Chain A
C-alpha cells in the first residue's frame, strides 16, 4: 500500500527527517493562501501515485500569487495519466546544489533489506540502476541485527557523498531504515534528498510503500491508506468485495481461482486472439455468494463483452461455484453478457450438473473454454 507524498513526508518529518515547509490544499484558494504564507518560490505538486508527475504537468514551480493561482487551477481537477487530482501539496522550493538518492527496500533475491545511496538523485533511479549500476552504493542489512551505524556511514561514503554532509546523510538513512523496520515498509525512499549551499540536507520527495499484509499491526498507516486509496470505481468495488482485481483494456472478462491460474487464463485469451478485460482472483474456498459478487463485478465493466469462468477446485468446490453462477444469472430476464464456464477438480462433476445450461455455456477443458469466450467476444464486437 502506497502513501501519498504529503502523508509520507509527515511520517518522515515526525521521525526527524528535515522536510521543506509545506501545506496540503484541496481548492485553488487554499493553494494560493498556502503559497502566500510559505513565500515564493513554491512548488505546487499533484498528490497522485503517478511516476514522472513533473513531466506530465503535475508539478509546477511558481514565483508569484498570479502564477500560483494559474498553476493550482491547472493541476487541481486535472487528469494525470488516468488519475484524478483532488489534492495538491504546496511546498517551499528548496535552492539546492546537489541531489542525492537514499532508499531502503527488500531485496527479494537475497531475502533481506538493502540500503541504497546514490549521488545521482533527482532522476528515475530505476533508469540509473539499469544504465549505471555502479552509481548506486548498496549495503545489505541483516534483519536479525538491524542496521549497524557503520553500515549507514559505509554506504554513504561508498556512494561518494561529500564529507561535509556525510554524517547528516547517514543520519537520514538511519532514520529511514528505522521507519522501514518499524512501519513494515516495502520501499521507503527519498529522491531527491537535496543538499543546499549551506550544507543542509532536506527531503524534497518522500516515498513510502507499506506491506499490505502487515496493516493489521500498523493502524495509523492503515488509516492513511484509506485516504490514499485511489483507482477507478471498479477497483474500489473489488476492494470492498476483497478480490484481487486488475482492470485491463480488453473485452473478455476473466474470473478464476488462484493467481497463477488466472494469469494463465489471461494469457490464453491473448493466445487465442482475444483481449483480456481484467484479472479477477476469487481466492481459495470461495462460496456461492462470493462467486455471484465476482460475476456482478465483471458484468458492471462496460468494456466486457464475454465472460469466462475458470475454476480448478482444490479447497474451492465446483458445486458451490455452480450455485453461485446460477444465483447470479437467474436474477436477470436476459443474460447481459455470454458466460462460459469450465470447472475442474473438487466436486466439478456435481457442479456441471448443477449449472443451468440455458444460462451458461459449459466447456470441459481450459483451452476450449477460453476459445469459446473469445469467439463470443468477437461476435459481440462484429
Chain B
C-alpha cells in the first residue's frame, strides 16, 4: 500500500515535448512509471519516448485512460495547465513541478481546486514517489527504498538528504510527497498527513518543514489531535534572518516574528513530535518510533 501513487496510476505528462518534460518522462519510464500519454497543444499525434501525445489533457484521459497529470509547462503557462488538468474528467491527481508560477495565478488555481475532488501536489515541488512502483516528478529514484515510512517535505533536495539517511539504515519508504516551497500550494502538510494516517502500511511519518507561513504549526496541532501514526520532524532555517527570502518564495520570516523555526519546532514538540537537530538525528527518531 501507499498513498496518492500506486500500480494503477496512469500518467499524462503536460509539456512532454519540452526539454525537461522529455528527459523526466524517460526517467519516469525507466523507474517503471506507467506513463501513458503526453499533452501539448498542437502536438497531438506525435510520440515522445514512445508515448503518444494528445492536444489536450481531456483527450489523454479519454483515449489513453490517464488518471494522473504531471505538469512540466513553463511558469507563464503553468497556471493554465493546472486548470486544464483539474478540469479534465478522469484525472484525480495533478503534480505540478514548475517553479516560478505567479502567485496570483496560483490563487485562482487554488480557488478552482476547492470545487473539485482532485488532489494537486505542488507547484515548485519534486513530485511524488512510491518506491518500487512509480514516481511522478523529478525525484532521483535510486536513493529511495521500499518500506513503511511516509515522508512529506516542502523542499526537494532536503527530502533526498533525509531519505538517504533513512535508506542507509535500511529504513524504506511507503510514499514520499514533495509539497513544494511556494506560498500557495495544493496539498499541504495536513493533506499529506491525512493520507498517511489512513494508509495501514505507513507506520511512521517524517515531516520536513521550513521557515515561513504557519502550515507547520497547524500541522502540529493536527498531529496532536488526529493522528495515531507517529511522526518525526525537521525544520530548516533556524539561522535565517527576518525579512530575507531564503530561496523559496514561501521561506521568509516576517518582521513581526511569525514563521520562525523556533515557533514551528515548539509547536511540533508540544504535540509529541520529536524534532531532529540534524537529518541524521531525524533518522534516529524514526528508528525509535518504528
Contacts and interface: CB of A to CB of B under 8 A. Distances in A.
Interface of A: 51, 106, 108-109, 111-113, 126-127, 129-130, 142-144, 181, 184, 186, 211-214, 216-217, 244, 246, 248, 256-264, 266-271, 276, 279, 281, 284, 312-315, 344-346, 365-367
Contacts of B104: 106, 143, 181, 184, 211, 214
Contacts of A244: 245-247
B260 interface: no
Contacts of A112: 107, 110-111
Contacts of B139: 314
Given A263-B240, A312-B161, A366-B279, 4 more contacts: A106-B104, A258-B158, A284-B156, A344-B160
B247 A109 contact: no
Nearest to B209: A260
Interface stretch (B28-36, B44-52, B59-67, B231-239): B231-239
Given A143-B111, A261-B161, A263-B210, A345 B103 contact: no
B133 interface: no
A273 B157 CA distance: 24
Nearest to B238: A267
B256 A211 contact: no
Contacts of B210: 259-260, 263
Interface in B236-290: 236-241, 244-251, 254-256, 261, 277-280
Nearest to B137: A314
B183 interface: yes
B261 to A, nearest CB: 8
Interface residues of B, number: 61
Contacts of A264: 158, 161, 234, 236, 279
A37 B136 CA distance: 64
A99 B212 CA distance: 30
Nearest to A313: B140
A108 B280 contact: no
A346 B256 contact: no
B279 A258 contact: no
Contacts of B241: 246, 248
A108 B184 contact: yes
Contacts of B254: 126
18 contacts: A112-B107, A143-B104, A143-B107, A184-B102, A244-B245, A260-B181, A260-B251, A262-B246, A263-B158, A263-B210, A263-B247, A267-B261, A270-B239, A279-B240, A279-B247, A312-B161, A313-B140, A344-B160
Counting from the closest, the 5 A-B pairs by CB-CB distance are A260-B155, A259-B247, A258-B157, A260-B158, A214-B102
